[in-house]
Chain A
Amino acid sequence: MFSFKLDDELESFRHEVRSLAEKEFAPRAAYWDEHEEYPEANKNLLAELGYLGMLVPEAYGGSGLSLIHGVVFLEELARVCFNTALVGQLYLNGPAKALAELGTEEQKQRILPGVVKGDYLIAISISEPGAGSAVTDLSTNIRKEGDDYILNGTKCFTTAGIEATHSMVFARFGDSKGARGIGAVLVEKGMEGFTTGKPERKMGGCGVKEAELHFDNVRIPKENIIVEATPYSNEGFKRLMSSFGPERVGNAGMCVGISQGAYETALAYSETRKQFGRPIAEFQGIQWKIADMATQLHAARLMVYRAATNLKNGFPDPHDCAMAKLYSNEMAQRITNEALQIHGHYGYCRDYPLERMVRDARGFSLGGGTPEILRNTIAAQCYGRTFNQRRS
């Protein structure tokens, strides 16, 4: 029997995170955005309370909680402060999760305890100026030289690439094309030949900036190879991509959270705002907006919880992830925009959180697998075959 409810333990976990988020993170949510500042203090508090390592296996100092805990956690952070949620996502579901899955025993022991304590931050670096959705066009190159490897190339849109102590960089081993030959290495801050460009200012998620990473003959010791690939096989790339399922679920969870925040704000506002002698909640046009928002939110939440709990070998089903992220990304845009509309011109101004939520929510659909790429993935599943995107 499929249960549509979180159990008591998860509900009390939600309650605990919500109290924390409302008390500690809500008051300064606008600050990080306005000042375009990385919420370091929030990260430190989360580390101190043990949340950053909540999904890391106990053997490496974490709590070994399940993916659904991570979703509920990110949902509650995003409900009040997206920038803090974004930091949480980097620690919980992105490269740290991939390293825990794909890394060597030595790498896990060396890196993960630092992640749990918040001393380390691993960024994920995939996109390049010429390889966005077409990730398998990436050209950052790695070649063997003696016992070491030499890395060359340029990455863009690396979230928190400047703050990160480590970056998990997708690179091509040898002279292959397409998915074959793509593996990943761990680049550490301070390695010779590794530089970061100026942080790129963006419309939303302003507290956690994107950066360009440049690799000019960076010498990578073999201990830092996470997934080695050969030019003849796409196995490495497949393993890498499958380990990013949790990131998609986490992304979708943040969408649910920010939408929940926008929805609650609009619901409350419509009860207090009076025009034409009555609260605007009394107008059917507004009531139905609220009804549609609640319905979509409910649907998205069910999809995300399903993706987070339908695990095989600890990882979610890629198609559950694709559908949950696709629907949640677009829902978050709709709901934050409707919430802004309900607020009228107040929603357009910074004194209210809506304009920030709209800007923040717009970014979900532009990274981490765009809705366009997810539709390709879902269509391939529907038809039972993949379609060659390079066909002319």
Chain B
Amino acid sequence: MNFELTEEQNLLRDSVRRMMDDIATADYIREHDEQGLYPYEVYDQWVEMGLLGLPFPEEFGGYDGNVLDMVIVGEELGRKGYDFLGAYALSVFNALNILRHGSEAQKKQYIPQVINGDIRMSISMTEPDAGSDAGNMRTTAVREGDDWVISGQKLFSTAADAKNNVINLYCKTDTTVPYQKGISLFMVPYDTPGVEIRRLKTLGRRMLGTNEIFFNNVRISDEMRIGEVNEGWDCMLSGLLLERVVTTAGYAGNAQTVVDQALAYAKERKQFGKPIGNFQAIAHMLADMQTKVDASRMLMLRAASKMAKGEKALREVSQAKLFGSETFAEVANMGMQIMGGYSYMMEFDMQRHYRDARSTTITAGTSQMQRNLIANTMGLKVK
């Protein structure tokens, strides 16, 4: 087993880290979290660096990066806050769906636009009554000539209101078949007439924001459909493991920042005449935190390296996602405790990490769904 990065991977990591250190300063992040502002300036830097093209073939202007490159970037962006990875991942993952399922014309048109920053992408799947049970969605698209007319309500759609965004919408195109059948995938530019986006107030992840979207007879051309009619569920599943493992890398990056900040505080903060990190109870908390973050990274890297070899990794990815998210939430909670009353103040970063971390056991497949998936790979039939 080799845990070493290649020279190229090290270069990638270092350059992403340097870029993020330069632009995503503590003040910048605080201000954007506080005011719920999308980090356009940081995103533009990614475009500049070519980061958006990382996993795409050269013919579309990409760099042919593999899953390991992706998790390296995921971890580095996550270091500054999990929400950064979210912005990156939304565009890249949805554009990868176009690469896998789109027509040649769609690939030629949209992938370069994502890579050069002309458009960005978000996903919209969840509905009020279709959360973990995504197949239960009710939003419909009805064929009218060369167009589709979309009606319904979507929920918890991250960054849908960012400028030049294209919503990648999953909805029912055949309501006569049950469940995961009869779902199709459409691209709906965020400013299409009839699209109404409402930002929800949330505990954390406030830079990107999460939204409710109403589709009021939204008319789009059939050219905006990705993949075959009624095969949207397969589109969604096709990228799921990559999406989860890169997301998990973001958890590991942000969790490491939590440990770094709590550790720095514990070395600096003196009570009873000595740094609080010298107290055994605090030192042991930090030892546990670093151990768990390392373990979550290892699970994530194991899953990514299996995927890089083209092997099945459903169990590995689910384990990494489960453990990574719960670890992130747990260490953020411990980081709060180590920093005492200061952690609770909005001018310190730890409360933001805690608020952001709290979403990770809920989104991208709840911890409960991951446990079901893992148990199913163990030959259990979980009901």
Contacts and interface: CB of A to CB of B under 8 A. Distances in A.
Interface of A: 34, 127, 130-134, 137, 156-157, 200-204, 210, 274-277, 283, 285-286, 333, 337, 340-341, 344-345, 347-351, 355, 358-359, 362-363, 365-367, 370-372, 375, 389-390, 392
Contact of A349 (B210, B272, B355): B210
Nearest to A203: B351
B36 to A, nearest CB: 12
Given A132-B340, A285-B371, A366-B340, A202 B346 contact: yes
28 contacts: A34-B201, A131-B271, A132-B271, A133-B271, A134-B272, A202-B344, A203-B344, A210-B345, A275-B136, A285-B371, A341-B368, A345-B131, A348-B203, A348-B204, A349-B202, A350-B202, A351-B200, A351-B201, A355-B203, A362-B354, A366-B340, A366-B341, A371-B337, A372-B281, A389-B271, A389-B272, A389-B279, A390-B274
A157 B132 CA distance: 41
A285 B129 contact: no
Most chain B beta carbons < 10 A, residue from A210, A285, A348, A370: A348
Contacts of B367: 341
A348 B358 CA distance: 8
User: Main SS of chain A's interface residues?
Assistant: mixed
B376 interface: no
A103 to B, nearest CB: 27
Contacts of A355: 202-203, 358
Given A200-B345, A203-B354, A366-B336, A344 B271 contact: no
Interface string B340-367: 1101111100010011001101110011
B341 A367 contact: yes
B133 interface: yes
Given A133-B272, A210-B341, 20 more contacts: A34-B201, A134-B272, A137-B273, A200-B345, A200-B347, A202-B345, A203-B345, A203-B346, A285-B368, A345-B131, A345-B363, A348-B359, A349-B200, A349-B201, A349-B202, A349-B210, A350-B200, A355-B203, A359-B203, A389-B279
B58 to A, nearest CB: 38
B333 interface: yes
A121 to B, nearest CB: 21
B344 A363 contact: yes
Nearest to A351: B200
A358 B361 CA distance: 15
Given A348-B202, A348-B203, A350-B201, A201 B347 contact: yes
A344 B363 CA distance: 8
Nearest to B367: A341
A127 B341 contact: yes
Contacts of B156: 345, 349
A275 B136 CA distance: 8
Contacts of B340: 132-133, 366, 370
A345 B354 CA distance: 16
Q: Categorize the interface residue count of chain B.
A: 35 or more
A31 B361 CA distance: 28
B126 interface: yes
B207 to A, nearest CB: 15
A131 B204 CA distance: 30
Nearest to A347: B362
A333 B333 contact: yes
B129 A345 contact: no
Nearest to B372: A285
B344 A204 contact: yes
A130 B136 contact: no
B143 interface: no
Given A157-B341, A349-B201, A275 B274 contact: no
B270 interface: yes
B272 A137 contact: yes
A234 to B, nearest CB: 16
Nearest to B156: A345
A355 B351 CA distance: 13
A375 B359 CA distance: 30
B8 to A, nearest CB: 38
A329 B155 CA distance: 33
A130 B341 CA distance: 12
A366 B367 CA distance: 27
A350 B359 CA distance: 13
A344 B366 contact: yes
A247 to B, nearest CB: 16
Interface string B139-180: 000000000000000011000000000000000000000000
A389 B281 CA distance: 12
B311 to A, nearest CB: 29
Contacts of A285: 368, 371
Contacts of A392: 273-274
B126 A345 contact: yes
Contact of B358 (A132, A133, A340): A340
Contacts of B336: 362, 366
Contacts of B202: 348-350, 355
Nearest to A372: B281
Contacts of B341: 127, 132, 156-157, 210, 366-367
A216 B10 CA distance: 55
Nearest to B128: A346
A127 B342 CA distance: 12
A318 B61 CA distance: 69
A340 B371 CA distance: 18
